[in-house]
Amino acid sequence: MNKLREKIENKEKILGTLVSLTDPCLCEIMGNLGYDCVWIDTEHTYMSAKEVLCHLNGARSAGIPAVVRLPQNELTETKRVLEMGPDGIIFPMVKSAKELKALIESTLYPPHGTRGFGPLRAIGYGSLDAKEYVTKQSFDLCRFVQIEHIDMIEELEEIVKIPYIDGFIFGPNDLSGSLGEFLNVFGETTLSKIKQAIEILRKHGKYIGLAGGMSQSDIREWSKLDLDMIFAGADWCFVYSAGKETLNNLKNHF
């Protein structure tokens, strides 16, 4: 069982951050800093499959679990990432139970799903028995779905019945857009819908996360929701913020 699944099953809190740039040293740095998990993003970045693989190796070298956010509803890219053996994957911008059911089934081998056979790094390039991987280790993969649209919340009572979903992660920015108050993530309507969804998820014993912001005020506000998992900040944000602060210090003293 991978470390991430252990934390989820033990109901432990998970503190993570995003990696969007391509150098695999960034995953090592996040692991060395002490984050519980690193989120490798392929939805909004120019990252190639090879660069994702290098990130996964970098994360493994630092002992930090890694999840990959997949491109929206992209079967071929999903297959490629699955064969790399990440600790988890994230499906973004899902809008219905029917859509999500098909996505989850694409990660499971028959008879549970529709995943084609062809594991590479996932079986250590042959060091693991392929049949044992299919029947046992492949279920260690953590499968997350983002709540980024009101349509998903409207179907949430049905969605929580779908098996093999390990957690739900709110994406407040896009969710706010579907509610007519784009980027007003702390708006009355957006917060009320998030709380409504949390109530449903808690009722069904689901693991709940959120990705958004990195400021002290952002983190303080999100902490009021008593989440199980939060992803805050990103590599490029950290470089920009620290670089700007250092430049301002230089200008103030020289």
**How is residue 167 annotated by DSSP?**
E
Alpha-carbon gap, residue 32 to 13, rounded angstroms: 18
Token pair of 46 as six digits = 């120019």
Using left for φ > 0, alpha for ψ between -120 and 50, and beta otherwise, residue 124 falls in left
d(CA 239, CA 246): 10
Cα distance from N-terminal residue to C-terminal residue, the chain: 54
Q: What is the pLDDT of residues 107-122, one digit of tens each?
A: 999 999 999 999 999 9
CA separation for the pair 162, 160 (Å, rounded): 5
Q: What is the pLDDT along the chain (254 residues), one digit of tens a residue?
A: 799 999 999 999 999 999 999 999 999 999 999 999 999 999 999 999 999 999 999 999 999 999 999 999 899 999 999 999 999 999 999 999 999 999 999 999 999 999 999 999 999 999 999 999 999 999 999 999 999 999 999 999 999 999 999 999 999 999 999 999 999 999 999 999 999 999 999 999 999 999 999 999 999 999 999 899 999 999 999 999 999 999 999 999 99
Its CATH architecture, for the domain 3-253, is Alpha-Beta Barrel (3.20)
- pLDDT tens readout for residues 204-237: 999 999 999 999 999 999 999 989 999 999 999 9
Domain boundaries, the chain: 3-253
